[in-house]
Structure 1
Amino acid sequence: GLAGCATAASLAARGWRVSLLERHAGLAAEASGNPQGVLYLKLSAHGTALSQLILSGFGHTRRLLEQLHRGVDWDDCGVLQLAFDAREGERQAQLAAAFPPELLHLVDRDQARQCAGIDVAQGGLFFPEGGWVHPPSLCQWQATHPLINVLTHREVLELDRVDDQWCARDGERVLASASVVVLAGAAEIKRFAPSADLPLKRIRGQITCLAQTPASQALATVVCAEGYVAPARLGEHTLGASFDFNNQDLAPTRAEHAGNLQRLREISEDLLQRLDADTVAPEHVQGRAAFRCTSPDYLPIVGPLADREAFAQVYAALGKDARQVPHVPCPWLPGLYINSGHGSRGLVTAPLCGELLAAWLCDEPLPLPSVVAEACHPNRFALRALVRGKSQASKVQS
């Protein structure tokens, strides 16, 4: 998907030979396989590490997309985020005050109608450089580098280290071996012992696809509220997406199609009618489901991985006093890196995180502020666990 292909592309651009192992018949067959993903900035007005990552990642992805076919692979048609309730309106006002208007700006209802080309019930926040992307096209383009060897139908079940080589196996058979491995398989990386403790969660999401009509061609920009709808790509609009924390089945459901249609109604009753979707039965529409992969703090997990048990021993002093950081080398697992946990923001965060990993591996200056890179680091969870252990012990004593 996006994380794996981005990492492979960033390394290949620096001269690395990369074997890209894909368990399906082709790339981008899971969460990165949707026909349209929304490219926009879900920011905080307070300059958080996540906001800094999103801001930098947005610009990086936009530059990459210039290499692709506008209108088929992507379109910078803009994104309109409706102020669907008072709380959202307040959040948008704070953002508009914190960022330059060429990046995002408030629009009233009439202006929102002009941007969208359809009737909407509210104004909102407009991102003029946002739009939609066909993620498989981005993945395919990134994987075409001559130093990347795409190996399909290769499902890695085990990962072990022999001498100075990591070996990816599907049982007895070695699928590939190398001194460096990057785990970029979303929550599936928890199947491997070194990364099994990472707190990654799968969240099911389902999209609904509706055929373009002559009347729906008026839709000029992506429009979002609780869900989203995009202008048509190759004659088809994408609606989405559901969030289901419990269902582990990828078969599309009637209930979630109905939910997406209801979200479309909340976005624009006008567009619902233009698409003839006010009378369509949910069981008669098409779509697909996939699993997003997210972390507890919503930041991706990117960087080198340490030996969890050795880390806890080496830095045990942090459990007594979090201010006293021992000057001891971290017990890294040699050549093992992670690029996962991008949630629903992978279009914005995954490509830049591929660059971040490549910079680490090539000993280059990082493409992000060190505070942002540290916020994404895999070790953050083990570090917090040590500090929490200290604080919990203090509470018990008191």
Structure 2
Amino acid sequence: MTSSNSIIFQQDGSPFSTQFDDIYFDTEDGCSQSEDIFINGNDIRQRLLKSDSDFTIAETGFGTGLNFLLTLQLFMSLAQEHDIAELPTLHFISTEKFPLDKATLEQSLLLLPQLSAVVSLLLSQYPEQTSNSCKLKFLDGKVTLSLLIGDAAQSLSGLDRRYENKINAWYLDGFAPAKNPDMWSPALFQQMHRLSAEQATVATFTVAGIVKRGLTTAGFRIYKQVAKGKKKEMLAGKFQMPKHKGYMQRPLTTKPQHVAIIGGGIASACAAYSLAKAGIKVTLYCKDESIAQGASSNAIGAIYPLIHLVKDDISIFYEKAFEHALGRYNTLLAQGYEFDHDWCGLLELSFKEPLRKRQQQFAEKSPWSTRLIQAIDAKTASERANIPLNDGGMYFPKAGWIAPAQLVSAMLKAAQAIGQVKIKTKVNVEQISPLADDKHHTKWQLKTNKGSLLVNHLVLSTGAEGLLSDIDELKHLPVYAVRGQVSSMISKAPLDKLSTVICHKGYLTPANQNEHCIGATFDKDDFSIQQKDSDDSYNLDMLNQAMGYLNPWTSKDVVQSKARLRCMTPDHWPIVGPMPDIEQHKTVYPHLAKDKHWKYDDPAPVKKGLYVLTGLGARGLCTAPLLGDILAADLSSAPYPVDNTMLFNLAPNRFVIRDIIKNKC
């Protein structure tokens, strides 16, 4: 007999996977092996007796359910020996990529008559076909089985942040790494690190090097043990929880039905899109007559990551954000949401000696993939750019340019197609203030030019223009405005053949609608958006210094220009997350001034219901999609798309924590 999962039953009746060329369990001593490795290896009996709260076990490879059945049998025996009310509620989470249908499972378990009582309980609830994940309850809900159908790492990544630090024991089962290498992936061990509770244990039948290394990387201290039966050795281990830094933790929230966003540019659009994908209704309030009138209104913007010679934290972030953005934008295009763009590559021109030295260093010892960045000589640069260049540089083959305003429009249309997203223009939010209702739930009152509004959850995504408002909460963040003017030139030879974006001290784009964009100026704390002839001259000077040998450009070549404001941060990281309560930080964390490693358990104090997404600087096209997804995770308690270190580098409270550590508060 063969099931849909390539299962055959051997002469002794045991199930055998032809896909993985292996048995599901040993008919002679399968129960004793599993009990020895997984139950005894995790000391489940004693821990259930001693636990004073819920106890959660996670398993990879549900298979025939043998490990769950043995665990359920143990729990039932403990319930007979002790008062069941004194036992913890047991949550058993198991993943299975190739589930058995009910008939195959029932036939497989005929070989285990000693488990007949718990087998009957399982089969009474097990679905006929297991194409979807399911949750089964036993003993009046005292034991639950969550069977997650799909790849182990992907299934575990779908567990939201309520499960983080909650898994008490791990059963790493499934077919051996040599037969099923896809399951034993780095992503699996990353999820184990995310989900493991303090002092969580792990047990597995395999002692393969890839498993030992993966568990060690995940934070487990592992050791070999003698195993019973045919399994000579097994691995067991205990999770070494790193020191708690409560100020790095973001609070868990119940996913709201609705979120208000103040903004109108690329950050707001990406936030709306991500929230809509998370199933949250959105209302976007934009003060202008139409969206994308701030920094996102420029005709063309370059998209490329900030990459240093070493793989430091900020470069790793921008690499991840860049890849994330390209994926999001290509998805929009594939769905028919159009915007002018060209993934034509980008060249950082090495037009002066320090840049040439940097290029040489990259050529000799770059830690980055050439799919991301390449050091190329003048000949290759000329070929990529399709114009004669005197210098080589650093080339980003997947970079290019986008029409930002068109992108914002496309992103919001896509968001509206996903969920309920309303856009209200000509609504200028002048002030916000918290209000507590009679149940002590915080709401936010918005004072606007069209009256007052009351919302439960609010995202400030106003960019630099928010610094001009009377929104006091933004003034607690060390963001600042940098004015930038972009000039447009009519296309003429030889630039009419330019086929890649070129960055020097400024930048130059290929022609779009017969015009090139050049720029841009950087003037700190200048809030004027009036065009300045002097800034056009500055942009031309930068271009001529780098490439004037081609055909010197003059003010006569400039056909139009535009000035807008960027919102910058002092550490060049953008900001996304819940708005911190600054005064509470100073009260809760003063000991950091004496010991920056001081242990704190509780999440950072925040202003409930208030979030911020800002400080994207000159690379908003690169970072906004990833930041939007992080914001959506904040509000839905979904897993974050970045690790904890990166998350704190983006956190709004990082500035006050650093000030406390440096004793500046």
Query: For residues 282-301 of structure 1, what are the structure 2 equivalents within 5 Å?
Result: 285-301=559-575
Q: Which residue is equivalent to 1:90?
A: 357
Q: Does 1:242 align with 2:529?
A: no
The CA deviation at 1:338 is 1.0
Instruction: For 1:260-275, list aligned pairs within 5 A.
Output: 260-269=539-548, 273=551
Q: Secondary structure at the match of 1:159?
A: strand
Q: Is the 8 A contact 1:43 1:95 kept in 2?
A: no
Question: CA–CA distance in 2 between the matches of 1:78 and 1:71?
Answer: 20
**SS of equivalent to 2:564:** strand
Q: Answer with 176-185 or 161-170: which moved more.
A: 161-170
> Which residue is equivalent to 1:327?
601
Residue by residue over 1:24-77, the C-alpha shift from the partner in whole angstroms, topping out at 9 and shown as x without a partner, is 111111111111111112212222222122101111111122223899521001
Partners of 1:44 and 1:95 within 8 A in 2? no
TM-score by length of 1: 0.91
Q: Quick check: 2:356–2:393 contact (8 Å CA) kept in 1?
A: yes
Q: Deviation per CA, 1:273-322, whole angstroms, max 9, x where unpaired?
A: 3xxx634447x631100111111100011111121111111112222332
Residue in structure 1 matching 2:443, options 146, 165, 169: 165
What's the counterpart of residue 151 of structure 1? 424
Task: Using the TM superposition, name which of 69-78 and 3-12 deviates more.
Answer: 69-78
Q: Which has the higher contact order (CA 8 A, sep 6+)?
A: 1
Cα deviations by residue, 1:102-148 (Å, 9 ceiling, x for unpaired): 21111111111111111222111111111101111111111112221
1:52 partnered with 2:316:
yes
Of 206-215 and 118-127, more deviation after overlay is shown by 206-215
Aligned letter for 2:561?
G
CA distance in structure 2 between the aligned counterparts of 1:76 and 1:120, rounded to whole angstroms: 20
Aligned partner (choices 282, 286, 293) of residue 18 of structure 1: 282
Letter in 2 for 1:85: K
- Aligned partner of 1:148: which letter? V
Consecutive unaligned residues in structure 2, runs of 5 or more = 1-264
Deviates more, 1:114-123 or 1:316-325: 316-325
The secondary structure found in structure 1 opposite 2:429 is coil
Specify the code of the residue in structure 1 equivalent to 2:421.
I
Q: Give 2:342's aligned residue.
A: 75
Contact 1:81–1:224, Cα closer than 8 Å, also in 2: yes
**For residues 158-200 of structure 1, what are the alpha-carbon distances to aligned partners after superposition, in whole Å with 9 as ceiling and x for unaligned?**
11122332222226812x4321111111134443223321000
Counting only pairs closer than 5 Å after superposition, residues 81-120 of structure 1 correspond to structure 2 as: 81-96=348-363, 97-120=366-389
Going from structure 1 to structure 2, the CA distance change for 1:360 and 1:118 (only over 3 Å counts) comes to same
Q: Which one of 30, 33, 57 corresponds to residue 294 of structure 2?
A: 30
The alpha-carbon distance between structure 1 residues 214 and 324, as it changes in their structure 2 partners (threshold 3 A), is closer
Cα offsets for 1:201-234 (capped at 9, x unmatched): 1011100001223653211111111111101112
Paired residue total: 385
2:502/2:508 contact within 8 Å kept: yes
Q: Per the alignment, do residues 70 and 23 of structure 1 end up closer, same or farther by CA in structure 2, a change over 3 Å counting?
A: closer
CA distance in 1, matches of 2:525, 2:290: 28
User: Identity across aligned pairs (percent)?
Assistant: 31
Q: Distance in 2 between matches of 1:315 and 1:210?
A: 54
Runs of 4 or more above 6 Å deviation: none
| Bigger radius of gyration | 2
Deviates more, 1:320-329 or 1:151-160: 320-329
The correspondence of residues 173-322 of structure 1 with structure 2, limited to 5 A, is 173-174=451-452, 176-190=453-467, 191-213=470-492, 215-269=494-548, 273=551, 278-281=553-556, 285-322=559-596
Letter in 2 for 1:142: M
Contact 2:339/2:407 (<8 A) preserved: no
